[in-house]
A and B are shown apart, each in its own frame.
Chain A
Amino acid sequence: MRTINSALKRLGEGEFICNVHYPEEFAALEDPAGRQIADRWCEDIGYRLARLSEEGAYFMAYSIVTADMRAQVREDLRQVRNKLEPIVGWMETLRQSQGQTPNIHEGDMLWESEIGEAVRTSAVLERRLLDMKDLSGARITDTSLDRVRRMLQHLESEGYLVEANPALKGYRVTGKIAYLYQLLGFIAANSTTLADDKLVDQIDTQGRIDAPAPLDVAGGIAIQEPPAPAEEPPQ
C-alpha cells in the first residue's frame, strides 16, 4: 500500500515510473490491484494512467482533450526546440562517446570513467562539450571529465539517468528515454525536417575555391589539362 501511495505521488509530480528509476513503484503499478487503484485515482482527479509502450514507463496524462488543449499541444510543437535542448545534445554526446556500440536505451549502463576517457581522447567530443552553453555551473577551468560529470548529473536531475553505482559512478538509463525517442519519432513522422523518404546517398561534387573552374574554350577560359600522375619513385 505504501508503494502504491508513493507511485501516485510520483505520478502527480509528473515523473515517469519505470523499472530502473522507481522499481518498487513500478512493481506496484504492474500489479493489477495497484494499477486499478492508480487508474481510479487518476480518473477521480481528471487524468488517466498512461504508458510509453506496452512494457514502458507509466506516467500521468490528460484524460480529456479539449480544443484549447489541442491548441496548446500545437503551440508546444511549434516551440519544440525548448523541449529538445539540451537533452538531445547530451544524449548524442553519450552516443558518440560509445563508438560503434552505443547503449542509450532503458536499462543500459553508462560509466563516467569510460565516457570521460572517450571524450578526453577525442578532440571532436572535447570541443563539443566545451561548446555546450547549457551546462549550468560549468567553469572555464573545468576539465573535460568535470564537464562529463556535470552533464551526467544534469541528465540524472532531468530523470533520464539514475545513479546505479555511486562508488564507481555508474549510471543507468531510465525508461524516460523512450519519451525522447517517441517525440523524435513524432517529429520525423509529422514534419519534413527529419523525414528521409527522398534521401539518396550520393557524393556531392562541390566546387573548391582553390581549384580553377573547368570551362570550355567557347566560354573564354581554356580547359585545364588534368595533372599528370606523379611518377612512381624508383624501387
Chain B
Amino acid sequence: MSTPIKDCLQTLSRHSEVIEQGMGGEISMETGTPSPVLVQLRQASAVRPAGEDGFRLHPRLREYLSDHLQLFSSYQSLAEIGSKIGQMQALWNELDDVRDSGDRDITDALHSLIQTTVFDIAHALDSNILFLQTRLSTRYGNVKSLDAKKSQNRWYQKQTAQLAGDLNRLAREAERIERHAEERGIAELSNFLRRYLIARILPWQQGLSEMQTLIRKEIFRTREVETNHKLLARMDLLLRQQPAWRGFEADLPEEIPAFLLAARLKPFRPHAEPLDGDRSISQEMELLARNLPPKKIEVEQVPPQRYKRVIDPPRKPPETAAALMLERLLKDLHAAGGKPVSLRAWRERDQEIQETMTADMWLVFSMMALRSRKVRVELIRNPPKLGEHFSHTFCDAVVQPKGGIGLRPTR
C-alpha cells in the first residue's frame, strides 16, 4: 500500500544520483539534470530553489546525510541547543498549567514531547562533542595555510563558548524542572530527567571544557609558529646584511633558561700507552677536569630559629569617676524597687558627684547612660517662657524603672 512517506522515499531512491550531486553544489538543467526529475524532487520537497533556475538540496536532507556519513565540512556550526532548552521550558510550563485540569491526553502528549526534546538535546550534544573531537584531533583536516587554521580556530572558539553558555543554562533549567516535578509528584518525569539529562551534563561539560583547552592551545601554537617564522626571517636578513654583527651583550636573568645551559659529555678518546709524564696527556686531563660540571655544595641544614609569641593578659580599662557614680546610681535604683527616683535629688545626696560634675552635666550624662540601658527616664520640663510655644529647658529627670529592666548593676 502506498503512503506519503513511502512515495517520498521512493522518489529519493529513484533519483539518488541527483541527490548525491546536490551534496556537492547546485543542481539545475544546465548541470545535466532533466526537468521532470527536478519537478519530482521539488514535489517531494527534497530540493529548494536557489537563484534563477537552480536548486539546492533541502538543508535537513543535507544535514541528515552529513550526519550519517560523518562528513564534517569547514566552518560547520555546532548543533544549537538554546532553542530546544526554551522549548523544554515552555512545555514544562504548559504541563504544569494543564495538570490541574485533569486532561490525561494533553498531559501525556506534553510529557512525550518533553521526552523527545530531551533526546534531541542529548543527541545534539553528543554529536557536537564527537564533531569537535574529530576536527581537533585531525587539526581541522588538511587545511592549506596557517591563516585558514587561525580562522577555523577563531570560529570554533566562538562556537564552543556559545555551546558552553547553553550547557550551563541547560543544567539550571533541567534541575529546576526536575525539582518542580518532584515537588508536584510527577516522579516519572523527574526520574527521566535525572537519568537522561542531569546525569550526563557533567561529562558533557568536561568534554567541552577539554575541547576549549585544546582550541586555546592550538591558537597559542599558531601564534608561536608565526612569531618563529618572523624571527627566523629577520635574523636571516640581519646575518646577510650585517656581516660584522657577531652577537650582543646579554643582561642575563637570575635564572638562565635551560636551553642556554645545554651540555654534552666530553667524548672518550683512547690513548695508546699513556704516560703520566707525557705533557699532552696531563694537558688533556687538566682540560677534562676543568670541563667537569661544578660540584653541588652540601649546605648544612640549620633548623629555623623559633620564636615564642607572647600574648599580654587582658587588661581592664581604668574605671572613671563617672562610671563609678553610675554604678552607685544603678544600685540605688535597684534598691528603690520600682519607685520613681529623681536624678537631681539623688545628686544632692551624693557628695562626690557634686564635686565632680555640675548639675546640668550630671543630668545629661545620667539620662543618656540610663537610656542607653533601656531605662525609662522622663524629663521634668520647665514651663515655656513668655512668647514660647514649647518648653525648651528642663530642671530634673525622673527614672521610672519598670520591673527592674536594665537596672541591674554591672558588679
Contact = CB atoms under 8 A, between A and B. Distances in A.
Whether chain B is bound by chain A comes out as yes
Interface of A: 12-14, 45-47, 50-52, 59-66, 69-70, 73-74, 76-81, 84-85, 88-89, 91-92, 95, 100-102, 104-105, 179-188, 190-191, 193-194, 196
Given A13-B265, A61-B262, A81-B247, 10 more contacts: A46-B292, A47-B263, A62-B293, A77-B250, A79-B247, A80-B247, A88-B236, A92-B236, A182-B259, A188-B231
19 contacts: A14-B262, A59-B262, A61-B262, A62-B261, A62-B294, A76-B260, A78-B246, A78-B249, A79-B246, A84-B239, A92-B232, A95-B229, A180-B232, A182-B259, A184-B232, A185-B227, A186-B257, A190-B248, A190-B250
Nearest to B145: A101
B258 A61 contact: yes
B144 interface: yes
Given A46-B292, A63-B296, A95-B233, A186 B260 contact: yes
Contacts of A60: 262-264
A215 B145 CA distance: 49
A186 B250 CA distance: 10
Interface string B228-246: 1101111110111000011
Contacts of A80: 246-248
A13 B264 contact: yes
B79 to A, nearest CB: 32
B263 A14 contact: yes
Interface residues of B, number: 39
B316 interface: no
Interface string B372-385: 00000000000000
Nearest to A187: B248
Given A105-B228, A190-B248, A46 B293 contact: yes
A191 B293 contact: no
Contacts of A51: 258
A65 B250 contact: no
B228 A61 contact: no
B295 interface: yes
Nearest to B240: A89
B336 interface: no
